Chain A
Amino acid sequence: MLQILLAAVMLGLLWAVMTIGVYLTFRILGMADLTVEGTIAMGAAIAARAIIGGINPYAATLLAILGGMAAGLVTGLLHTKLKIPALLSGILTMIALYSINLRILGKAILSLLRLETVYTVFGGLSQIPFFADAGIGHLVPVIALGLLCVPAIICILYWFFRTEIGCAIRATGDNPQMSRAQGINTGNMIMLGLVISNGLVALSGALIAQQQSFADIQMGIGSIVIGLASVIIGEVLFGKNSFFSRLVSLVLGAITYRVIIAFVLELGMPANDLKLFTAITVALALSLPELKSYLRPVVTGLKGGAKNARGKWSL
């Protein structure tokens, strides 16, 4: 049981990085960026290829981040300069990335078994008898790195989105018209947001590939939905008051998602139905506000007497 739970926490930490990336585009910029489906596999592919090529795993991971940023930039250019709708821009890059990822990988799956990864440094932890005896020795190095990496990312982002540029990105997502009126180059801010987001997603892909010891061309499929599910779970369960608590809630959301998945698998749901399950969960969560508004007339009707709706604003 502990093993299952900790494995879920470990996966959750790695996917949390991706979740934060999805949050940046989905909630801060207010667009669904499908690039991430390609970027996560790209991060994995670049890291795997580089590590196999003998590059230091940290440098390889950095390369993966840069690759992801480039992918984000392409989507940004398609959207802001060529005026292709955001959703379609993301899809175009995602499809293009499929071919590119295949080229990087050279085949559908690239194994990293017995190669040095970012987790190797923490390998000593798995030898500690306390962990080894509990049968979680292999999980501990990944969790250790995750616990270093994720809070660091949260702190950096927390700082960044309080700076002048960060505020400008948030304003762009919130109200682009107002942002332009305040002299913000909204096109550049959208691009910057996409670059950061996809950099994070690629980092997540690189970390996941090194954890599971292989990079897989299929890895990205459905990842946007997993990201969205984690974002929404985080928001619903852990609140969304301050920006900091929102970032933390994303991590908790990603972990919770993994725990839920582990749980339903344990209950005997076939693994092949996972994506269907996730999609239904996200569809339900996203439609919550709409469902509420369908129910509202019923509720107010029951309470009796609708309040006078005021069409005009007042002080």
Chain B
Amino acid sequence: MLAVNGVFKTFNRGTVNEKTALHNVNLHLKEGDFVTLIGGNGAGKSTLLNCIAGLHEVDSGSILIDGKDVTKLPEHKRAGILGRVFQDPMEGTAANMWLEENMALAFRRGQRRTLKWGISGKERELYRTLLSRLELGLENRLNVKVGMLSGGQRQAVTLLMAILKRPKLLLLDEHTAALDPKTAAKVLALTEKFIGQEKLTTLMVIHNMRDAIRFGNRLIMMHEGRILLDIEGEAPSKSSPLRTCYSVSGRPAEPNLPMTASFCLEFFSRKTAGLFPSGGAGQKDDNQGKGKYCLPLPACAAMFHQSDCDKAAPAGG
């Protein structure tokens, strides 16, 4: 569904501010994959999403969505097959336009816009039904300017707009980060509901590790423009928080060791945060291993205290 092949992106090339934000990123998503993407500040997560969406041109490499090479397509021409929600609730909607007008804009994504009426009566009914699925009482407020809605409501609306024309790929960039915890949880729940119902291929950046493990069937961690960790979930059931690290270690984890995804993540996040001495525990092998990290798990497990792992693993993990 999505193929990112050897993408490099450097900002401000040739200046003192030169910054390589993406370094040989390879990423392949299958139809229906729900991938969570984590990494520290400046890891390149947003840059990766923005390159896929066409905000930035990549320096080299290629990006294919649904088999179609979009590397050179401008942003608005890719929009028809993408759905996007941004971190800032202000960014995803037009504040001075009515709720229904915003929905109507999304409804025409990827279509030629003409001199036809901007919104039809039939659509209004559709929007009402869809908005009622948000359970925020917005179905009766079609003629309210979106700027009058709260951030959480706007984010929920943006999400709805993103999936209104079923996108081939849904890109969510920390779309709950600006919300208070309760609202964030609600919006995340909605996100999961929609993705599940529509079986959307999704790439979701998220800063909360616990949620990163809880959602999706695959987890990717980026660091300094590279994909450091790529955990394919062997989820026995969708709700199971336990993700083994098969694809990391290349062999099954031993059952009595706490080799859950959260464990690996804890390890890596400490390492990338500089809390954990580097070297010894694993070595980078991102050329042959397609950005995956070869990690001798037992070795690194030994470097952890059990209590740390308990803390890192979500309840039931």
Contacts and interface: CB of A to CB of B under 8 A. Distances in A.
Q: Do A and B bind each other?
A: yes
B186 interface: yes
Contacts of B114: 163-165
A123 B89 CA distance: 58
Nearest to B92: A178
B135 to A, nearest CB: 10
B209 to A, nearest CB: 20
Interface string B283-311: 00000000000000000000000000000
B179 to A, nearest CB: 5
Interface string A137-181: 000000000000000000000001011111110110011011111
Interface stretch (A4-12, A90-98, A183-191, A203-211): A183-191
Contacts of A272: none
Interface in B88-146: 89-97, 101, 104-106, 108-111, 113-119, 136
A185 B109 CA distance: 11
Interface stretch (B148-156, B217-225, B244-252): B148-156
Contacts of B119: 162, 167
Contact of A184 (B82, B90, B105, B116): B105
B183 A315 contact: yes
Contacts of A184: 76, 79, 105, 113
Nearest to B110: A183
B50 to A, nearest CB: 11
B13 interface: no
Given A182-B108, A183-B76, A186-B76, A177 B91 contact: yes
Nearest to A165: B113
B186 to A, nearest CB: 6
Contacts of B155: 313
Contacts of A308: none
Contact of A174 (B86, B94, B109): B94
A92 B170 CA distance: 42
Interface string A277-292: 0000000000000000
A315 B152 contact: yes
Interface in B66-100: 74-77, 79-80, 82, 84, 86, 89-97
B152 A313 contact: yes
Contacts of A183: 76-77, 79-80, 108-111
Interface string A94-130: 0000000000000000000000000000000000000
A303 interface: no
Contacts of A174: 94-97
A83 interface: no
A315 B53 CA distance: 28
Contact of A313 (B82, B109, B151, B161): B151
B178 interface: yes
Given A167-B101, A183-B109, A313 B76 contact: no
Contacts of B89: 313
A315 B105 contact: no
B76 A171 contact: no
A182 B105 contact: yes
A312 interface: yes
A178 B93 contact: yes
Contacts of B90: 175
Contacts of B156: 315
Given A170-B97, A174-B94, A313-B180, A181 B115 contact: no
B92 A181 contact: yes
Contacts of B178: 312-313
Nearest to A176: B94
A181 B77 CA distance: 9
Contacts of A165: 113-115
B113 A164 contact: yes
Given A183-B79, A314-B182, A314-B183, A163 B92 contact: no
A164 B161 CA distance: 16
Contact of A163 (B118, B136, B182, B186): B118
Which among B92, B97, B118 has the highest number of chain A CB atoms within 10 Å? B118
A175 B84 CA distance: 14
Contacts of A181: 53, 75, 79, 82, 84, 92
A179 B241 CA distance: 37
A206 to B, nearest CB: 26
Contact of B117 (A163, A313, A315): A163
A181 B115 CA distance: 21
A39 B76 CA distance: 31
A183 to B, nearest CB: 4
Contacts of B179: 312-314
Nearest to A164: B113
Given A163-B118, A312-B180, A313-B183, A185 B94 contact: no
Given A167-B97, A171-B94, 17 more contacts: A162-B119, A165-B113, A165-B114, A167-B104, A167-B113, A174-B96, A177-B86, A178-B92, A180-B76, A183-B108, A185-B74, A186-B76, A313-B150, A315-B150, A315-B153, A315-B182, A315-B183
The 7 closest A-B pairs by CB, nearest first: A313-B151, A183-B79, A315-B152, A174-B94, A312-B180, A167-B118, A164-B113
Interface of A: 160, 162-168, 170-171, 174-175, 177-186, 310, 312-315
17 contacts: A162-B118, A164-B117, A171-B105, A175-B93, A177-B86, A177-B91, A181-B53, A182-B105, A182-B108, A182-B161, A183-B79, A183-B80, A183-B109, A310-B180, A313-B89, A313-B180, A314-B151
